[in-house]
Chain A
Amino acid sequence: MTLWKEFAKGWVIENPILVLALSLCPALAVTSSVVTSLTMGLVVMFVITSNNVVVSIVKKLVNPKVRVPVYIICIATIVTLASLLLQAYAPLLYKALGIYLELVVVFAIILARAEVFASKNNVGRAFLDGFGMGCGFTFAMLIIGVIRELLGNGTILGINILGTAYEPALIMILPPGGFLLIGYLVGLFKLWNMHMEKRQRIRGEAA
């Protein structure tokens, strides 16, 4: 049960973007279409999971005073390896990912999970935490991406949904629209979490 919780918390209760409010910058920059949101989400999912595993393996060897630089080196190594392998075996995918891949190195959420969770837990739990957080990140990116592409371009995954009569709201594709939308979503997640907490409290009292 607790293992399931480690995985599940990343989706809603501690959603990296919409509740922890980490990595908002990329969430804003690459979510103007569904494809880029999804790609970015999957890349982050991969890096955060493998980084959590590596950090939790080496946690005893790392001097606490330099733990942050060491974690950064670790993230950078994983990202570099991924980009080298993609370059050699999937050059088209590598081209599609472009600068996003290298940007992942500085994502706050990855460092945060290494520092807050992976450095204090065993490999299994760190893996689940990273995977869950990665899923939550992808989930949030996907929500933002779908709404922005739909309203800003009338399409989803490039397929026209709203018909030709729909006049796309350009602001949704531009950064201000992203900010507005993320604000509303943060509010929505907050409401949901409050609602769930309340329900749990009532249930707790009843029991």
Chain B
Amino acid sequence: MTHDNNDSIFKVAFNLIGACIISGLIIGAVYSLTAATAAEKIVELKNASLQEMVADADAIVEIEGKHEWHEAIKDGEVVAYIVPAESKGYAGAIELLVSISPDLKVLKYSILESKETPGLGDKAKEPLFADQFIGKDAEHLEVTKDPNKTELIQSISGSTITSRAVTKAVKEALEEVTAFVQGGE
């Protein structure tokens, strides 16, 4: 080991600090350039995903007094309630948007955020699983592994935890909307 100037603790520390400062400055500069666009894109995406939930709605309005709740309106009537839902999946939280019809049945859901295993739990996004929810009421929102019980939700093979988590989130959303609709009338 050579004992030249390079071994001084200050030199080593300054070298590291320098690297951190440069990196921080670069990231800061880029962030200040992109932050505004990124925020815009997030809003855009959110509106697009709301619109996607009820394709034939004329307007989607936020419900007052309820955080992030929306109702879809067509010809002056409410055709769907769109509410956020969340539950714990196999790998972290799964965030969804659920749309519920005024007669309290599930219209559809879409997964906004999830970290489920690609090829397994990830399949919850696919129609094969997701389409089972269409038209279901609270009683039939239950996961089963029995292929004969077609009135219930068929679990994704290899991803029971994800299937249950999604079903639970949708059911909770449905129950919340039920309470809201019945309470309001």
Contacts and interface: CB of A to CB of B under 8 A. Distances in A.
Interface of A: 30, 32-33, 36, 61-66, 69-70, 73-74, 76-77, 80-81, 84-85, 87-89, 91-92, 95, 98-99, 148-149, 152-153, 170, 173-174
B157 A87 contact: no
Contact of A77 (B23, B37, B41, B44): B23
Contacts of A99: 115
A21 to B, nearest CB: 23
Interface of B: 6-7, 11-12, 15-16, 19-20, 23, 26-27, 30-31, 34-35, 37-38, 41-42, 44-45, 115, 117-120, 157-158
B37 A64 contact: no
A65 B7 contact: yes
B19 A73 contact: yes
A60 to B, nearest CB: 12
Given A33-B119, A84-B31, A69 B16 contact: yes
B19 A70 contact: yes
B84 to A, nearest CB: 17
Nearest to A77: B23
Contacts of B19: 62, 66, 69-70, 73-74
A40 to B, nearest CB: 10
A94 B126 CA distance: 20
A161 to B, nearest CB: 15
B94 to A, nearest CB: 13
A66 B31 CA distance: 27
B38 A149 contact: no
A173 B27 CA distance: 37
Nearest to B91: A99
Contact of B12 (A32, A65, A149): A65
B16 A70 contact: yes
A84 B7 contact: no
Contacts of A63: 6, 11-12, 15-16
B120 A173 contact: yes
A174 B158 CA distance: 9
A153 B119 contact: yes
